[in-house]
Every structure is written in C-alpha cells, then in structure tokens.
Structure 1
Amino acid sequence: MAADLAAGAVLLAVAARPVAGNSTIKNASPKAGIFKSDKVRLMPGL
C-alpha cells in the first residue's frame, strides 16, 4: 500500500507541477518525507 501511495503522490506532483509550479512539490515534501529521494530520482529537473 505504501508503494501505491508513493506512486500516486509522485503522479499528483507531476500533474500539478505545470499549474502550481514548484510550490506544490515543496509543500508535499515535508509531509511525504520518503518521497523526497524518489522525486530526486524520478524528476531530476527539479
């Protein structure tokens, strides 16, 4: 289940990025914690 939540959060972050910009990604990071390293790996452009 945690893996599904992580994938969903990353997909939401990717989908929201064009609209909300980096603020959405930054706001999600503290809550997500574990997702931070995933974002670095999956979205190296950030």
Structure 2
Amino acid sequence: MRLGLVGAGFMGGVHLSAYANIPEVEVVGVADARPESAVAGAQLV
C-alpha cells in the first residue's frame, strides 16, 4: 500500500514509525503546516 501522511506532529511521528515496520506499506509523502515537522517525519521512514 502506498501511503501519504498529512500531519507530522507527535502522533504523526508515532504512525510513521509504525508504518516503517510494515513491509507492505510504502510512505510516499509527508505533509505538515510546519515544514520542519514534515522533514523530520520523512526522515523516520
């Protein structure tokens, strides 16, 4: 499954960490109102 996450705050980070451990999930995008949060979230996967 290809996944894009909107909202990379605390809970978004928790979700991204979980998605990184699921082989069937490919995170293809991370968006947040704060660009630094989006970049930090993208680095988790």
TM-score relative to the length of structure 2: 0.44
Task: Considering fraction of residues, name the structure with more strand.
Answer: 2
Task: Considering fraction of residues, name the structure with more helix.
Answer: 1
Where relative contact order (Cα < 8 A, 6+ residues apart) is larger, the structure is: 2
